[in-house]
Structure 1
């Protein structure tokens, strides 16, 4: 004799309960991933216009790191902001500023460069600093590229099947370039929740600075840089630094000197670079020019630091201080 089955209504309630439980688990898992990775799956960073026109662009920590690298490589080559805007717009179109390992035919990376077309090996192209350098190398060969429409300049490098597609990214790329070159002060912020999968500490920050800007970026801090891009054992940190802190004195900032100010584009570029890399490198605080950004704040805005401390530090404009979570 067959066993009696559950009433259909009860079976329905159990099914709905089970389905709801699975959904709750999925949502909880998603929220945990977002917290741990700094919101890599959605906007966690924002850049705003310094012109007071309300323009802004929201992007993810992953995109922020790549945009900061593209910009740093460009300024290390002494290229103008227009070149960086062209590069950022191109990467926004080609990969949405994500270092993807796939594309049309053998296209790879931020700029969808093809090994078969002589852009480099797959491993090289997947290195954002290398890929950005190769893009700039080709862009510099375009006559009068700074005077060309962005679509024309980008197309002469990329040879895309959709040459007009770069135009729609110019406003966002311009905002990013202004912030990441340091021309627009205190305009880039991120939530900055530290990731759990990357090395942390001052040495990791120094290595990333060298990767993006070149070895000269650490010279003002008095650090001797080894062949691997990390400070040598004999290098001593500045006397006022603390464990887990990188202090970058900003000297020779021509933009600031010309305007009669101590704080200038070079300092703000380094400060914004640190904020963009906050999730990747476990950076919890960045200070410059009497302002401070702290990871994990609700609004993650740049705030004025203590007035007396700022005065004692010469308004804080003489150095960028990056404090890590370790």
Structure 2
């Protein structure tokens, strides 16, 4: 009996040692593996995470709302809808002839296949339908989204409301420096100033002031006015979300700085003004 007790004790000790060794090995492996690329919006204690492709589409959906002068509520409804319909991916197929971010159907008058697969067209088509609904601003998400989409599962939109609300608040600029991405450094030479200029001015239109370039640095002027900081953060967050695609290495705006790399958060920078967004390209 005594020998049995000793044997059990030895096994227990060896088992504990094996567990500790496994934990150490796991930590070492975690240190060696690269951190996943992720974009996060954090507002009032709630966070929503997206991969870079989802973040690009979420920022575009929100940017279109900002350009059109729509309330953040409109962006929340659109984001919740796209999260349910496509998980914020520009899908090339779906139920019957459904396509794109909102799974719109050519046969139902949303446009041609090519148009629906253009995220800007698809988003504007969604908002065109939304603004025709009287009182959509005060409707619950499911009701407003259903009036646009005519889905067979209207209650499903509600599950995405918390994340959509946080993303809309951060990406429309109402919650400053609340959206950031942890991305790997873009490859050398990836960023093209003319592509960045065309992208931002094309989406935000008159909200963009003068755009100038000095080397690998592009400065976007944010016109003065009551909503300068809101529009400035909307554009800054948009560029952060598109950083991988546009080859952005760093952003400076309104007392904050963001860079690609391991941490990916906004840090204080007293040199960054509220009247200009400074973009450093790779």
Give the TM-score normalised by the residue count of structure 1: 0.72
1:299 pairs with 2:271: no
1:34-53 → structure 2 map (5 Å cutoff):
44-49=38-43, 51=44
1:1-326 → structure 2 map (5 Å cutoff):
44-49=38-43, 51=44, 54-193=45-184, 200-214=191-205, 216-218=206-208, 220-221=209-210, 237=212, 241-255=213-227, 264-296=229-261, 298-305=262-269, 307=270, 310=271, 316-325=273-282
Q: Following the alignment from structure 1 to structure 2, what is the Cα–Cα distance between the partners of residues 124 and 199?
A: 28
Matched residue of 1:254: which SS?
coil
* Contact preservation (8 Å) 1:43, 1:58: no
Structure 1: gaps (5+ residues): 1-30, 224-236, 257-263
Shift of 1:122: 0.8
Matched residue of 2:227: which SS?
helix
* Contact preservation (8 Å) 1:97, 1:110: yes
* Contact preservation (8 Å) 2:236, 2:251: yes
Q: Following the alignment from structure 1 to structure 2, what is the Cα–Cα distance between the partners of residues 195 and 139?
A: 37
Q: Following the alignment from structure 1 to structure 2, what is the Cα–Cα distance between the partners of residues 101 and 199?
A: 27
Shift of 1:147: 1.1
Matched residue of 2:214: which SS?
coil
Q: Following the alignment from structure 1 to structure 2, what is the Cα–Cα distance between the partners of residues 166 and 195?
A: 35
2:8 matched residue in structure 1: none
- Structure whose residues are more often strand by fraction: 2
Matched residue of 1:113: which SS?
coil
Q: Following the alignment from structure 2 to structure 1, what is the Cα–Cα distance between the partners of residues 190 and 201?
A: 15
1:4 matched residue in structure 2: none
CA deviations on 1:49-86 (whole Å, 9 max, x unpaired) are: 1x2xx211111000111011101111111111111100
Shift of 1:105: 0.4
Structure 2: gaps (5+ residues): 1-32
Shift of 1:194: 5.3
CA deviations on 1:5-60 (whole Å, 9 max, x unpaired) are: xxxxxxxxxxxxxxxxxxxxxxxxxx8xxx7xxx8xx65111111x2xx2111110
2:3 matched residue in structure 1: none
Give the TM-score normalised by the residue count of structure 2: 0.83
Aligned residues: 250
* Contact preservation (8 Å) 1:193, 1:282: no
* Contact preservation (8 Å) 1:293, 1:302: yes
List structure 1 runs of 4+ shifted beyond 3 angstroms. Answer: none
* Contact preservation (8 Å) 1:200, 1:282: yes
